[in-house]
Amino acid sequence: MTTTTNVEIKRLNQVEVTLRMVGTTPLYFNSMSAKTKRDLLIGGGKKTAAEKKQIKHNPEQEFKDSLYKKSYGETLLCFPAPGIKQAMATAALETDGIKKTTVNRLLFLPEQYVNVWGTPYLKMDIVRSADINKTPDVRTRGYLPRWCAEVRLRFIAPALSTFDVTSLLSNAGTIVGIGDFRQEKGRGSFGCFDVFDGKNKNIPEWKDIVKESREAQQHAVDYPICADPETEELMEMMGIERQKRAA
């Protein structure tokens, strides 16, 4: 006689929570420039004689290219949601009770980009290139001294809870960060943040920073302001050299 056993497969329960991130250290944007994307797509060609005479860098354009921007919505600036999920997965390595693989499988960010509030400044830094000689160069990026973001997260319950997800994002804000020179990389401590419930309407820093939304951000992109004295000095050098070559 054959016995039939019925197997009941339960549907996974997905829960959504909205959390707010308020920067505790400045944020460096690190979007890839259009020129770099083009070179990756079709290859970098040799420079013409005219191109070789051009000034090596165009700080204003590089500043604009470094920013993650979107054409609609409450803010002009945004940040890739996968970067936030990756920060949480990295934080899991230092968080008891959860594994990186669990975060990758059971946590979802439904948006491709999250809104970022705050005014971007033009910042130039002396960096070392990735070549074997570590050649020094000047890199220009968008820099937000203060910033905040709002992120929607979906997770599988009861494997994860709202408390788990909030704690994990908070840990990511402390030991990982987002953007360039972030805490995770060791050399810088930028892109760190505190986490608050998305329903909390009484976060003083949040209420202040969200005033710096789309219109203010667009103005800052169109009319860049230097972030520090070193950048101002470099931009003065650039202005002098441009005048010489235009003469």
pLDDT per position as a tens digit, 114-156 = 999 999 999 999 887 777 777 888 899 999 999 999 999 999 9
> What pLDDT score does 33 carry?
58
pLDDT in tens, 12-25: 899 999 999 999 99
61 touches 75 (CB < 8 A): no
CA distances from 70 to 59, 74, 116, 225 (A): 21, 10, 11, 21
Taking the C-alpha atoms of residue 43 and residue 92, their distance in angstroms, rounded to an integer, is 38
Residue 36 is predicted with a pLDDT of: 59
The span from the CA of 30 to the CA of 67, in Å, is: 7
Say what the pLDDT of residue 45 is: 57
Give residue 40's pLDDT band: very low, low, confident or very high (50, 70, 90): very low
Cross-sheet strand order for the sheet of 136-144: 27-28, 136-144, 121-128
Residue 180 three-state SS: strand
* DSSP string covering 112-177: SEEEEES--EEEEEEEE-SSTT--EEEEEEEEESS-EEEEEEEEEETTS-HHHHHHHHHHHHHHT-
pLDDT given for residue 168 in this prediction: 96
**Domain spans of the chain, in order of start:** 14-246
Average pLDDT over residues 28-35: 76
Per-residue confidence band for 47, with pLDDT thresholds at 50, 70 and 90: low
The Cα–Cα gap between 182 and 99 comes to 22
10 — pLDDT class (breaks 50, 70, 90): confident
80, with CB counted inside 10 A (0-12, 13-18, 19+), is middle
How confident is residue 46, by pLDDT bands cut at 50, 70 and 90?
A: low
pLDDT for 128 equals: 78
The rounded distance, in Å, linking the Cα atoms of 31 and 51 is: 24
The tens digit of pLDDT for each residue in 207-241 reads 999 999 899 999 999 999 999 999 999 999 888 88
Q: Mean pLDDT of all residues in the chain?
A: 88
Question: 127 vs 181, which has greater pLDDT?
Answer: 181
Task: Give the per-residue pLDDT at 65.
Answer: 93
Contact 206, 148 (CB under 8 A): yes
What is the SS3 assignment for 66? helix
Please confirm whether the linkage preceding 229 is cis (ω < 30° from 0): no
Whether the per-residue pLDDT at 169 is higher than 80: the answer is: yes
pLDDT digits 0-9 by tens, 103-113: 999 999 999 99
Rounded to 10 degrees, what is the CA torsion of 203, 158, 177, 27? -40
More confident residue, 9 or 140: 140
What's the pLDDT at 173? 96
Indicate the range of 52-56, 58-62, 117-121 predicted with least confidence.
Answer: 52-56
